[in-house]
Structure 1
């Protein structure tokens, strides 16, 4: 096996200088000898060729130097292997070219080669794209072999060469074939190489727009995949995929068909895979839902990405009333649009469901035009005794609201501009813990009548940057936020989420913020994490009996 790329080498200073000096001499000579028509790319190619030649000539010396440097590092072999385990497959190969010690260790560690990443952008012989059409002209035929020039590239040779290194450990296969007409010969070669190892395949992930990529691979892998746990296909027609799969997949637990489509015309003849507990698919038409539930009748965790077509009409039968839906304990719904919120709730909302998550599509044009309030916030209505609320900002425009209680959890990812409507749908009577990102504080509490928290014990405000706290305390904001009623508040926590640094906050600013919550009382604990207090720290003693810096904060100076 050879690697066409330059090996990874650690150049000593004297060799670096020698290479640089030689490169400069060749570059100047090329400039003097080149005629006016010679372009910069030609000169650059000459320099690169020279560097490759010099580096190859010095390779034995470089490897000796690398081995000495590595020995001085003194790291145990287990640590090297842990580091290499985070590299891509190609980079793990380059590691074996650094020195003999690394090669022996890497090649002799089977777990480093259990993840195989096949890439192929080679086109099928029948492809009619513009590039392939051009290459079918007579002028594009190769002069040496009288054959059409190959479009794209593939690392199939490297993948098949690395396959034995994993010995008998479980295999994870990732196939990336981005072209819509992938060369079937590459997939056939991969299937032939994997046939003797099919019993070790635990994960198969296929990223391709070409459905034939999925079918070619499974048709060549043989009649059984006894260890397969995860199947991830970007694009596949459900009936066609099921026909290509082995009839029995005893260990299959997760199926991700996020861009899949199709349904069975005859629902009585649907194959069944009862071992699948997690399912993700795109719902294009409502009639597809029954096909997926019948094919995977024991699903517990359902992830559904919606198309606009699927929600054009209100469903006649909700999810809870459909066959094979009784085992579902969690539902995540993606790409929700305000235009069809009611239809989404009619299909997926069930007061008995332990976990329901709605994720709004941030690119939807309806978001900016949507009348308030959002219907999706109504998923919090069935939490009559919520005990914990968490409000965090995903980015500048989107937020995540989650609440727990009554043995259930509700979460919604929604534009930050409407988070203040939460209190209209959520009962705050039994909330004991509230955690809020500082950037959302004003949106949640700027109403004329703030929510009351009679049972609140812990209030936490999280900072993503040092300036977040100053933004909360801007004079115009403070004047518009009335005091928050929390008579049982026990602990106020200010948390800097950046654990690599300390947020510098003036003690007077902390006192000003605490006054909004404590109602003149002295709290039991003021907890500061990754916070550096600036100014008179005695002001903090008026806030709480205990000021807890833990191991992650302190007082400046």
Structure 2
């Protein structure tokens, strides 16, 4: 395969190398001994091997280029991977390893583990090690429980090049503080790329404060969380976070050792605050709201308390929440009543209240006043609440949206309290109604006419198939569209054509007929002609 002339040229080149070595020795009045001859041979062989390796590398690069997907396509693939996915690029072929190392987005999520206990830890394991003077057999150093991968993170960070970084830290407050300082030092040069910081699920408040005190600013950090733990982010000194968009707290953001000489903490870029009331702290919520003056969304969570109300300065709360547009109260316990009343203002675009299942202390109609914020053209939904996918008798979900897209919701509202809804929401403001058939008689009891409703959707479960059990209903003089829907996860419910026709007549529509009658996952039994005459165009 290789021409003889090229092989001869290679042999002659090797001869010239040795001839040059002999001439150089003679100029020094010396002769080339055996050791020097072997060194010359090693140099010649090394250069030959390097030349061959360079050719093979070039060929492999060309081969990778032929088989390699376009870089734009890989970027799209990586963008769809969950941020917590770990891709290991070891023990694979050279092509895939090179591809992985050349893809910075693969290394943009750093999972940091620091379970190594600090020197002053007094836990049971550390006490036993100290008592029995346990040391490592290899290095004779004292045994330290746990592990840390900080040095691995140091090696991985450069591979992400200029890609934005997410850092997921799994640590506890009894972890080695030196490792926290190391991590801060590693990320210090890359602070311009750190966009997400999650300090784990163990509520390591002190170690997070220790980490943050190493920074004057994290200019692009958008999210700072503590995983799913009921722990609050605490700061030990002032820090600038000009890009932070959401913040999770469950108490004052200031640690007990906060350096007040650094100034009060202000995070003007935060637009979403999640606050968890895990104790009746009267100042925690106010301190949190003061830190985020431009917040527009408040997620409020709580736990039940024995106290009837939490002793807040409600006037100050009203002042600090005047710019909110969205409020979601996830746990509306009795002690939250005054807070919810304070947060309920007319400028809110959306207000959602979730009541705990079977709350024995719920007062009828206690939170229905939030629907007073809806104006005209209200689309109202009254459905049975579902528990594990099945309708739960006695509990309702109320949803309302007006023509200005203002939204109100009460999740898990007791059915015996729904009559209070009409105290705050005028029936004349309704334009659309979606309701479970079995609720019609109870929810609309006391109304003789709903004059402005032009579209109604009746949801029918398998057990709700007969209209003659509904009883009396109000007049719907302006109704034009009637929809009958069944739940897609159960057997298709059926309705009697005769009962349906009688129901339409009982609604006393001014024109006498509907513009539309729509069936979705509902079957009709019997002669349809009696229904057809009640629909325009059929």
Q: Is 1:255 matched up with 2:255? A: no
Q: Aligned partners of 2:504, 2:98: CA distance in 1, in Å? A: 63
Q: Is 1:356 matched up with 2:351? A: yes
How far is 1:225 from its partner?
A: 1.4
**SS state at 2:495 partner:** helix
Q: Aligned partners of 1:262, 1:311: CA distance in 2, in Å? A: 27
- In structure 1, which of residues 280, 288, 312 is the aligned counterpart of residue 284 of structure 2? 288
How far is 1:81 from its partner?
A: 6.1
Q: Aligned partners of 1:320, 1:156: CA distance in 2, in Å? A: 42
In the alignment, what sits opposite 1:15? none
In the alignment, what sits opposite 2:295? 299
**SS state at 1:369 partner:** coil
In the alignment, what sits opposite 1:470? 462
Counterparts of 1:149-168 in structure 2 under 5 Å?
A: 149-156=143-150, 158-168=152-162
Q: Aligned partners of 1:199, 1:174: CA distance in 2, in Å? A: 17
In the alignment, what sits opposite 2:53? none
Counterparts of 1:130-529 in structure 2 under 5 Å?
A: 130-138=124-132, 140-156=134-150, 158-177=152-171, 179-207=172-200, 208-220=202-214, 222-233=215-226, 241=235, 243-246=236-239, 248-258=240-250, 270-283=264-277, 284-306=280-302, 308=305, 312-313=309-310, 315=312, 317-318=314-315, 321-322=318-319, 324-337=320-333, 339-340=334-335, 342-362=337-357, 367-370=358-361, 372-385=363-376, 387-391=378-382, 393=385, 395=387, 397=392, 399-405=396-402, 407=404, 408-418=406-416, 420-421=418-419, 422-436=421-435, 438=436, 441-443=437-439, 445-447=441-443, 449=445, 451=447, 452-461=449-458, 469-473=461-465, 479-483=469-473, 485-494=475-484, 505=492, 508=495, 512=499, 516=503, 519=507, 522-529=513-520
Q: Aligned partners of 2:103, 2:251: CA distance in 1, in Å? A: 36
How far is 1:301 from its partner?
A: 1.9
**SS state at 2:428 partner:** coil
**SS state at 2:266 partner:** coil
How far is 1:164 from its partner?
A: 2.7
How far is 1:400 from its partner?
A: 3.8
The RMSD of aligned alpha carbons is 4.2
- 1:530-555 CA distance string (max 9 Å, x none): x37586794674664589xxxxxxxx
- The answer on whether the counterparts of 1:336 and 1:361 sit within 8 Å (CA) in structure 2 is yes
- The answer on whether the counterparts of 2:168 and 2:197 sit within 8 Å (CA) in structure 1 is yes
How far is 1:334 from its partner?
A: 3.3
Counterparts of 1:110-129 in structure 2 under 5 Å?
A: 110-129=104-123
Change (3 A) 1:316 1:260: closer
How far is 1:202 from its partner?
A: 1.6
How far is 1:470 from its partner?
A: 0.5
Q: Aligned partners of 1:99, 1:528: CA distance in 2, in Å? A: 58
- 1:336-387 CA distance string (max 9 Å, x none): 21x335423443222343332223344xxxx542364131112223435351
Give the greater-gyration-radius structure (CA).
Answer: 2
In the alignment, what sits opposite 1:552? none
List alignment gaps of at least 5 residues for structure 2. 1-66
Q: Aligned partners of 2:155, 2:397: CA distance in 1, in Å? A: 46
**SS state at 1:93 partner:** coil
- 1:204-240 CA distance string (max 9 Å, x none): 22233221221122133x32211122222456667x5
- The answer on whether the counterparts of 1:176 and 1:206 sit within 8 Å (CA) in structure 2 is yes
Change (3 A) 1:82 1:155: farther
- 1:375-431 CA distance string (max 9 Å, x none): 111222343535112345353556542222374322222345456344454322221
Change (3 A) 1:546 1:384: same
- The answer on whether the counterparts of 2:232 and 2:250 sit within 8 Å (CA) in structure 1 is no
Q: Aligned partners of 1:150, 1:89: CA distance in 2, in Å? A: 31
Q: Aligned partners of 2:487, 2:245: CA distance in 1, in Å? A: 35
Q: What is the TM-score with the length of structure 2 in the denominator?
A: 0.69
Q: Aligned partners of 2:70, 2:339: CA distance in 1, in Å? A: 55
- The answer on whether the counterparts of 2:440 and 2:470 sit within 8 Å (CA) in structure 1 is no
Change (3 A) 1:87 1:352: closer
Change (3 A) 1:455 1:76: farther
Change (3 A) 1:372 1:191: closer
**SS state at 1:133 partner:** helix
How far is 1:138 from its partner?
A: 1.5
How far is 1:515 from its partner?
A: 5.7
Change (3 A) 1:483 1:117: farther
Q: Aligned partners of 1:310, 1:101: CA distance in 2, in Å? A: 65
